[in-house]
């Protein structure tokens, strides 16, 4: 009953009626209705002890052995360039709780990641993943290549397309940062017309030229969300992605890549929704 006073009041009223009419000592037959499919007795619900995971994954990491809910110990090895990973897990029971997911920074050497699942009844299970991050490769200074310099910066290099820059960062800071990784490198930033620029915002469509040990290589710059090439993420970019989806104005080359904000290989409404969230400061884009 919604009224917590009802049991007392109604039983007291019934008792008073019987008492006032001298009916307390009479015998009565109570009829209790029995419905179809009623249980034979009362069953007290028990809390689930399911503390399993349905899935466990770590970005950029292959688990060894392959994930199995009954296996709780895993290991893997990653390159030195992998400085952090993201742990994701799916619980098997909706009333269980999971801790230990999210971004994890990796130090060189052994790193232990523990994902703990607590069942509804409080019983726990811990899945342990040991990730070994390799030592940095020692390269003969005379054999360092532009790719080696890029690797040292931590920028993401996918088929000579670089990402991972800080949105709104000045070109001069990017140049100095790269030179800081190898003082012998010559670094230039070129605009979309292949003219050298030394200031202004780092932007989609620019190129970074790195020369070292007589070798020169040029990389394309991608700022995810910057589809206009101005180094900013604004309503202009939102409109360009929308026009692309509606086939009224197509994005090409690195600008097309910059529009793929969720990095799923296609441009959809999800991408301009992410730009909108970035502009509204509800969820920043990951570079």
SS (H, E, C) 8-44: HHHHHHHHHHHHHCCCCCCCCCCCCCCCCCCCCCCCC
pLDDT truncated to tens, each residue of the chain (287 aa)? 577 788 888 888 888 888 898 888 888 888 888 888 877 777 777 899 999 999 999 998 999 999 999 999 999 999 888 999 999 999 999 999 999 999 999 999 999 999 999 999 999 999 999 999 999 878 899 999 999 999 999 899 999 999 999 999 999 999 999 999 999 999 999 999 999 999 999 999 999 999 999 999 999 999 999 999 999 999 999 999 999 999 999 999 999 999 999 999 999 999 989 999 999 999 899 99
Buried b / exposed e over 192-220, threshold 16 CB at 10 Å, is: eeeeebeeebbbbbbbbbbbbbeeeeebb
Distance of alpha carbon 277 from alpha carbon 262, whole angstroms: 12
- Please classify residue 255 by burial: count the beta carbons closer than 10 Å to its beta carbon, then call 0-12 exposed, 13-18 middle and 19+ buried: buried
pLDDT of residue 101: 96
- Tell me the domains of the chain and their CATH numbers: 53-133 (2.60.40), 141-221 (no CATH), 235-279 (no CATH)
Stated as kind and residue range, the H or E segment containing 105 is strand 102-105
pTM: 0.60
For position 128, what pLDDT does the model report? 98
What is the model's pLDDT at position 194? Answer: 94
- Specify the pLDDT at position 260: 96
Q: Would you put residue 238 in left (φ > 0), alpha (ψ -120 to 50) or beta? A: alpha
Structure tokens, 104: 């994890």
Helix and strand tally (H, E) in the chain?
Answer: 6, 13
pLDDT of residue 8: 82
């Amino acid at each position: 009953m919604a009224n917590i006073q009802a049991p007392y009041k109604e039983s007291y009223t019934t008792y008073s009626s019987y008492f006032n009419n001298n009916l307390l000592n009479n015998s009565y037959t109570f009829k209790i209705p029995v419905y179809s499919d009623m249980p034979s007795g009362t069953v007290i619900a028990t809390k689930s002890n399911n503390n399993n995971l349905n899935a466990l994954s770590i970005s950029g990491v292959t688990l060894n052995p392959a994930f199995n809910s009954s296996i709780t110990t895993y290991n893997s090895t990653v390159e030195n360039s992998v400085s952090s990973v993201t742990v994701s897990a799916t619980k098997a029971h909706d009333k269980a709780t999971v801790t230990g997911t999210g971004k994890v920074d990796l130090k060189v050497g052994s790193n232990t990641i523990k994902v703990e699942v607590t069942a509804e009844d409080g019983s726990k299970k811990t899945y342990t993943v040991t990730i070994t991050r390799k030592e940095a490769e020692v390269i003969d200074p005379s054999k360092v290549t532009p790719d080696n310099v890029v690797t040292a910066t931590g920028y993401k290099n996918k088929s000579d397309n670089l990402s991972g820059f800080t949105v709104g960062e000045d070109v001069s800071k990017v140049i100095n940062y790269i030179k800081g990784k190898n003082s012998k490198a010559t670094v230039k930033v070129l605009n979309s017309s292949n003219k050298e620029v030394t200031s202004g915002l780092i932007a989609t469509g620019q190129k970074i030229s790195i020369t070292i040990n007589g070798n020169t290589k040029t990389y394309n710059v991608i700022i995810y969300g910057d589809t206009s090439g101005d180094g900013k993420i604004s309503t202009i970019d939102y409109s360009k992605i929308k026009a692309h989806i509606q086939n009224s104005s197509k994005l090409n080359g690195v600008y097309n890549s910059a529009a793929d904000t969720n990095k799923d290989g296609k441009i959809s409404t999800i991408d301009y929704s992410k730009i909108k969230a970035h502009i509204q400061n509800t969820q920043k884009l990951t570079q």
